Amino acid sequence: MINTILERERKWGIVWAIVLIVFNLSAIYFIIDLFGYDELVDHFNPEGVTKSVHPEKLAWLLFINVLCNLFFMVTALMTRLMNREEL
């Protein structure tokens, strides 16, 4: 009974780790695309004033965050896959 629960937990942990890795890789694609913009312009504000934002600092913050997430997810997945006690 407990072995089947542990086996299911191990399989679902591996599946969710792979899903999160794929999600982070797709986020990297959009963040790299964000690096290509010089500025983002907002024309639809109530005051009628045009606002512009330079997204480079935000893109760097998101990029570093996603790389850290990928590092920890890949590390957790590899330790789970290499753990001989759970096999």
Domain ranges of the chain: 21-82
Cα–Cα dist 65/34, whole Å: 15
> Residue 83 in contact with residue 24, Cβ under 8 Å?
no
> Residue 42 in contact with residue 53, Cβ under 8 Å?
yes
For 50-75, write each residue's pLDDT tens digit.
Answer: 777 888 888 999 999 999 999 999 99
- What are the residue ranges in the chain where pLDDT is below 50? none
Long-range contacts of 39-46 (CB under 8 A, 24+ apart): none
Cβ count near 42 (within 10 Å):
10
pLDDT of residue 67: 95
DSSP character at residue 49: -
Q: Which residues contact 84 (CB under 8 A, 6 or more apart)?
A: none
pLDDT of residue 68: 96
Whole-structure pTM value: 0.72
Identity of the amino acid at 17:
A
